[in-house]
């Protein structure tokens, strides 16, 4: 098993080669990616692969996103520190930890109780106190805690889910999410201005499906590629 120093140097290399060389430039995002221990969010057997340039399985047929995608989504959502953020798709809790470092309060929603429970435990062990992990259908958002300055969806939606759109703050609320079918999606950045939502399409991506009322039906969605 690698030592802390070895993980630190793998993480530094990940930031240099996978993030900076691909154009991630926000210094706050790079700083956080250098610090958050990604290896703590995967099972012991996969720890040695934690800083590789790929997603990894986390159980329940789900994956922790590739480091570059986590950094890109975080950069696109453009946090300054005071925001209330909703994440849909807690998974391992890694993206939530990154958000905790850059925003005031994070709410994260996961449909699988087992993943939510494990992510909550890891986040607590690492000392994050500005995050609440909820179990439920994130395609409906978490209206009781909203509105949110930022929403980040880490599972692919067939279209922009209406409830999430309306849970953005009216003045400049920002959402980053993959939208598309089971094979290919585009990462979209949605900015709310009153009752107008500006949509910008960025790069093609491939995420596990958002399964829920405003997402895909259970079992008709895709199973991610086996990437390990
Ligand atoms: N952000 C995660 C990556 C998660 S993969 C990380 O950093 O590890 C996408 C996650 O979305 C999976 O855990 C999946 O179970 C969850 N998910 C899919 N549909 C959902 C829904 N409707 N509500 C909440 N979570 C959902």
**Which domains does the chain show, CATH number per domain?**
53-205 (3.40.50.150)
**pLDDT value of position 161:** 98
Which protein residues touch ligand 1 with a CB less than 6 Å away?
A: 62-65, 88-89, 91-92, 94-95, 109-112, 115, 137-139, 154-155, 208, 210-212, 215
Residue 192 backbone phi and psi in degrees, to 5: -95, 130
Q: How many other C-beta atoms lie within 10 A of the C-beta of residue 194?
A: 8
Query: Whose alpha carbon is nearest atom 18 of ligand 1?
Result: 210
Report the chain's mean pLDDT, rounded to a whole number.
94
Residue 164, pLDDT score: 98
| Residue nearest ligand 1's atom 19 by CA | 210
From 56, 111, 139, the mutation candidate for ligand 1 (largest count of ligand atoms within 8 A of CB) is: 111
Residue 1, pLDDT score = 67
Q: Which atom of ligand 1 is nearest to the CA of 60?
A: 15
pTM over 0.85: yes
Catalytic positions are 65
Distance CA 154, CA 72 (A): 12
Whether the predicted pLDDT of 227 surpasses 70:
no
| Cis previous bond, 139, omega within 30 | no
Angle at which helices 27-35 and 94-102 pack, to 10 degrees? 130
Q: Is the pLDDT of residue 127 over 70?
A: yes
Q: What is the pLDDT of residues 155-213, one digit of tens each?
A: 999 999 999 999 999 999 999 999 999 888 999 999 999 999 999 999 999 999 999 99
Taking CA atoms only, the protein residue closest to ligand 1 atom 13 is: 91
Protein residue whose Cα sits closest to atom 23 of ligand 1: 138
Range of lowest pLDDT (56-70, 83-97, 213-227): 213-227
Gap from CA of 127 to ligand 1 centroid (Å): 22
pLDDT tens figures, 48-83? 999 999 999 999 999 999 999 999 999 999 999 999
């Amino acid at each position: 098993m690698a030592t802390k120093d070895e993980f630190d140097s793998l993480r530094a290399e990940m930031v240099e080669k996978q993030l900076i060389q691909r154009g991630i430039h926000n210094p706050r995002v790079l700083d956080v990616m250098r610090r958050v221990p990604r290896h703590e969010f995967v099972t012991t057997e996969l720890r040695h692969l934690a800083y590789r340039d790929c997603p990894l399985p986390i159980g329940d047929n789900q994956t922790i996103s590739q480091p570059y995608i986590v950094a890109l989504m975080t950069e696109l959502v453009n946090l300054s520190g005071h925001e209330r953020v909703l994440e849909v798709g807690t998974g391992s809790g890694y993206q939530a930890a990154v958000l905790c470092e850059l925003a005031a309060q994070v709410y994260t929603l996961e449909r699988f109780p087992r993943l939510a429970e494990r992510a909550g435990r890891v986040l607590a062990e690492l000392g994050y106190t500005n995050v609440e992990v909820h179990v439920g259908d994130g395609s409906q958002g978490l209206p009781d805690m909203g509105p949110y300055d930022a929403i980040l969806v880490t599972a692919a939606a067939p279209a922009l889910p209406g409830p999430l759109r309306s849970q953005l703050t009216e003045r400049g609320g920002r959402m980053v999410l993959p939208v598309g079918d089971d094979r290919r999606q585009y990462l979209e950045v949605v900015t709310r201005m009153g009752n107008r939502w500006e949509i910008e399409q960025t790069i093609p991506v491939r995420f596990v499906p958002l399964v829920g009322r405003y997402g895909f039906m259970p079992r008709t969605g895709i199973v991610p590629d086996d990437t390990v």
